[in-house]
């Protein structure tokens, strides 16, 4: 077994460090080097990548047995579990990406206004329709096992408001 030290050195832990020590070290270094706190973005990415590998038991085993190259060849190059390098930081420090409710798509509606209305302000009213899960059938389109569709939503599972 090749115990490559690079990722362990980045986090300042020994190769036999338990997961709790790796996590603790990552938190400390991430706070210190986070770009929003005036830290170096490249250093932060290096710390986050080392943590990504060493915090996952499977990736850590691959790294311990074959080094950094084995991790890359195993399809784990970069931040495979995270679409944004900052996601790993948010996961531990409450950035809340995963806790935010999913928003629907933005709606664009053309509206004609005059320059005077833009300057002075104006109020316009318009109707917006949206699909809401049917309260009667709870989005199923009818009762479980029933042949008849829901009368409220006509079997669609959603009501248009």
Domain spans in the chain, listed from the N-terminal domain onward: 6-93
pLDDT at 106: 77
pLDDT at 13: 93
pLDDT at 4: 58
Q: What is the CATH number of domain 6-93?
A: 1.10.287.110
pLDDT at 110: 86
pLDDT at 23: 92
Alpha helices in the chain (DSSP H): 6-11, 19-33, 41-55, 57-71, 87-93, 115-120
φ/ψ (deg, to 5) at 65? -85, -35
pLDDT in tens, the chain (161 residues): 445 568 999 999 998 899 999 999 999 998 888 888 888 888 999 999 999 999 988 888 888 888 888 777 764 444 444 545 556 656 565 555 445 555 667 778 888 899 999 899 988 888 877 778 888 887 778 877 777 888 888 888 777 77
pLDDT at 77: 44
pLDDT at 115: 94
Angle CA 78–68–35, to nearest 5: 45
Give the 3-state secondary structure of residue 119: helix
Token readout for 130 is: 């949206």
For residue 144, with 0-12 CB atoms within 10 Å meaning exposed, 13-18 middle and 19 or more buried, which class applies? Answer: exposed
CB atoms < 10 A from the CB of 155, how many? 14
pLDDT at 28: 92
Contact 79, 88 (CB under 8 A): yes
pLDDT at 54: 92
């Amino acid at each position: 077994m090749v115990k490559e030290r690079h990722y362990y050195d980045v986090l300042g832990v020994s190769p036999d460090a338990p997961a709790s020590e790796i996590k603790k070290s990552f938190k400390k270094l991430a706070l210190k080097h986070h770009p929003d706190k005036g830290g170096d973005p490249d250093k932060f990415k290096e710390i986050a990548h080392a943590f990504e590998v060493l915090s996952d038991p499977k990736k850590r085993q691959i790294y311990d047995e074959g080094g950094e190259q084995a991790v890359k060849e195993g399809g784990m190059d970069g931040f495979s579990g995270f679409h944004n390098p900052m996601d790993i930081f948010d996961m531990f420090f409450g950035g809340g990406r995963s806790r935010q409710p999913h928003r629907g798509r933005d709606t664009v509606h053309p509206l004609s206004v005059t320059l005077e209305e833009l300057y002075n302000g104006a109020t316009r009213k318009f109707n917006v329709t949206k699909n809401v899960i049917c309260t009667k059938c709870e989005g199923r389109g009818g009762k479980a096992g029933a042949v008849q569709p829901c009368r409220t939503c006509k079997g669609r599972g959603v009501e248009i408001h």
